[in-house]
């Protein structure tokens, strides 16, 4: 079955039937990652361990996911998109059940850090590959990615609130149980999805390249996470990670020259539009996680809010994300992807400036709502077009590779945003909270300005009406 045939089948079944399990999967992974932070004290007390021990489990989850995201995307070509999606969901669900019944920290690490981490790396690339292949036109693809981006952003932003509510009312084990139940629902819904392309079991897999990419990303993420505790160790780890990734790039170039198929095609790195799009993705997730960490910490330390109250304030950002992301399809009919990304960065930066000003003026935590709302609207405007730009830059044959690479870049942005903002904030939050809070947000606004520059350099691609492509162009880059 060709991609066009699968797209036609998806259209007959209704876009919601195909899109719902993909969007729910993205929501669950984003929610699971952000909700864990509000369970730390409860878990450490119940499992008779330390807060540091639970933080190690969270860190290991990030490392496993970062290490395997690129190989996970490549495996979809060999074993099939829907098969990898279902396998990832199953591993994630098993990990959630093991986490829910874990008697100690070691079992929690096996369930949450390892199995859920591997499951995430297997299931997330197919979400973006299947969306790209099943929704073939710019506006329908923008609508689909709008829903997925909205669910991902909402999951990340609402995770602390939902996780806090479940933990406070039913306990932290129930939070993992809810994850497992959602997985069962998604697996049932995913049966409606037909793989657009046949799996190719003979497709080679670049094991040395996978090891090098995984090692480089682990070192890089570990270094980023160490920024707020040990500057010199962080610098050494980040440098080592960069060197290993350079070795990885040299290796894939050598493999191509020798006529072998590498883990990633070097052509992925020569596409200017895709590179700029991934830079905007990385920056957007830095802003989302960085702002969330800084404002949440400030509201709790300075204004004395608990996790649930903080989550309520953050519904402004969540609502903005939802509204703007779901409008992506309609906006894509009238505006270029570049225009949407430019306006998104501009709106987000204005929101950050408002948050800086309100630090010294707001007597109530509700004073932070306007800034958070603008940030949510800005991020919602550009998350979808950035993904669309990257995924649409390559033909079907490279969707597995670019999806894994794109998700790895976004995950690095999430990790880097929290690490940079956290390092600046934690340094003075107990002595000079307003100063450290303001400095952290100013740095994030500067990062947003860099993203704005990348958006300015993006080419202008005019929106076109939805219609089936001519047969001879079905496999050409969008």
Residue-wise pLDDT tens digits, 69-111: 999 988 998 999 999 999 999 999 999 999 999 999 999 999 9
Could you tell me if residue 466 is inside a domain?
Answer: no
Name every residue whose Cβ is closer than 8 Å to that of residue 448 and which is 6 or more positions away in sequence: 283, 287, 345, 348, 349, 352
338 and 408, same domain (yes or no) = yes
In the prediction, which pLDDT does 251 show? 93
Where among 177, 202, 227 does a domain terminate? 202
In the prediction, which pLDDT does 89 show? 97
Contact 10, 196 (CB under 8 A): no
Could you tell me if residue 476 is inside a domain?
Answer: no
Could you tell me if residue 472 is inside a domain?
Answer: no
176 and 256, same domain (yes or no) = no
Could you tell me if residue 474 is inside a domain?
Answer: no
291 and 382, same domain (yes or no) = yes
Residue-wise pLDDT tens digits, 293-331: 888 878 877 778 876 777 788 888 888 888 888 887 788
* Nearest to 158, CA basis, from 319, 19, 351, 295: 319
314 and 364, same domain (yes or no) = yes
d(Cα 401, Cα 70) in Å, to the nearest integer? Answer: 7
319 and 456, same domain (yes or no) = yes
Residue 247, classed as helix, strand or coil, is helix
Band (451; pLDDT cuts 50, 70, 90): very high
In the prediction, which pLDDT does 360 show? 67
Residue found under tokens 């959602």: 182
408 and 443, same domain (yes or no) = yes
CATH number at residue 336: 1.20.1250.20
237 and 380, same domain (yes or no) = no
Could you tell me if residue 332 is inside a domain?
Answer: yes
The vertex-465 CA angle with 463 and 467, nearest 5°, equals 130
In the prediction, which pLDDT does 478 show? 33
In the prediction, which pLDDT does 163 show? 84
24 and 143, same domain (yes or no) = yes
254 and 143, same domain (yes or no) = no
Burial of 241 per CB tally in 10 Å (0-12, 13-18, 19+)? buried
95 and 20, same domain (yes or no) = yes
Burial 255-267 (b: 16+ CB within 10 A, else e): beeeeebbbbbee
416 and 294, same domain (yes or no) = yes
d(Cα 324, Cα 88) in Å, to the nearest integer? Answer: 29
Residue-wise pLDDT tens digits, 397-421: 788 888 888 888 888 888 788 778 8
Band (471; pLDDT cuts 50, 70, 90): very low
Write out the residue range of the structural domain in which residue 444 sits: 271-460
Higher pLDDT, 428 or 108: 108
Higher pLDDT, 21 or 413: 21
Could you tell me if residue 182 is inside a domain?
Answer: yes
In the prediction, which pLDDT does 404 show? 85
Contact 359, 434 (CB under 8 A): yes
> What Rg, from alpha-carbon coordinates, does the chain have?
21
151 and 10, same domain (yes or no) = yes
Mean per-residue pLDDT over the chain, rounded: 84
- Neighbouring C-alpha atoms within 13 Å toward the C-beta of 160: 23
Residue-wise pLDDT tens digits, 274-283: 999 999 999 9
Tokens of 364: 């109530």
Could you tell me if residue 478 is inside a domain?
Answer: no
Could you tell me if residue 473 is inside a domain?
Answer: no
Query: Considering its fold, how many domains does the chain have in total?
Result: 3
């Amino acid at each position: 079955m060709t991609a066009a045939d699968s797209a036609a089948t998806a259209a007959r079944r209704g876009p919601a039937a195909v899109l719902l399990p993909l969007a729910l999967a993205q929501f669950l992974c984003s929610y699971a990652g952000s909700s864990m932070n509000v369970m730390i004290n409860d878990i450490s007390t119940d499992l008779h361990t330390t807060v540091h021990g639970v933080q190690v489990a969270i860190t290991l989850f990030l490392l496993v996911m970062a290490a395997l995201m690129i190989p996970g995307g490549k495996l979809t070509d060999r074993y099939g998109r829907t098969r990898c999606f279902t396998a990832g969901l199953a591993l994630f669900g098993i990990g959630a059940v093991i986490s829910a019944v874990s008697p100690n920290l070691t079992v929690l690490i096996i369930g949450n850090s390892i199995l859920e981490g591997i499951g995430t790396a297997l299931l997330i690339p197919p979400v973006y590959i299947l969306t790209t292949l099943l929704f073939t036109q710019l506006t329908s693809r923008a609508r689909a990615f709008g829903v997925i981006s909205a669910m991902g952003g909402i999951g990340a932003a609402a995770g602390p609130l939902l996780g806090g509510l479940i933990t406070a009312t039913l306990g932290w084990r129930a939070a993992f149980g809810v994850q497992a139940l959602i997985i069962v629902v998604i697996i049932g819904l995913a049966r409606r999805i037909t793989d657009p392309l046949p799996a190719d079991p003979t497709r080679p897999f670049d094991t040395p390249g996978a090891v090098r990419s995984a090692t480089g990303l682990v070192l890089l993420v570990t270094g980023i996470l160490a920024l707020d505790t040990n500057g010199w160790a962080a610098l050494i780890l980040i440098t080592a990670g960069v060197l290993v990734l350079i070795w990885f790039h040299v290796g894939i170039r050598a493999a191509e020259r020798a006529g072998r198929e590498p883990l990633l095609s070097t052509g992925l790195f020569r596409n200017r539009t895709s590179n700029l799009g991934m830079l905007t993705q990385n920056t957007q997730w830095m802003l989302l996680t960085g702002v969330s960490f800084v404002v949440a910490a400030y509201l709790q330390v300075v204004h004395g809010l608990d996790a649930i109250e903080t989550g309520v304030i953050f519904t402004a950002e969540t609502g903005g994300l939802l509204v703007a992301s779901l409008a992506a399809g309609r906006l894509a009919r009238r505006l270029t992807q570049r225009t949407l990304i430019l306006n998104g960065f501009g709106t987000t930066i204005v929101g950050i400036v408002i948050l800086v000003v309100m630090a010294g003026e707001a007597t109530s935590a509700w004073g932070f709502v306007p800034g958070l709302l603008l940030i949510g609207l800005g991020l919602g405007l550009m998350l979808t077009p950035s993904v669309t730009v990257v995924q649409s830059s390559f033909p079907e044959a490279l969707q597995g590779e670019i999806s894994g690479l794109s998700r790895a870049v976004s995950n690095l942005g999430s990790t880097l945003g929290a690490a940079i903002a956290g390092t600046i904030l934690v340094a003075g939050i107990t002595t000079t909270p307003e100063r450290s809070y303001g400095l952290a947000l100013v740095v994030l606004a500067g990062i947003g300005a860099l993203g704005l520059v990348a958006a300015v350099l993006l080419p202008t691609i005019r929106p076109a009406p939805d219609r089936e492509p001519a047969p001879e162009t079905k496999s050409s880059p969008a």
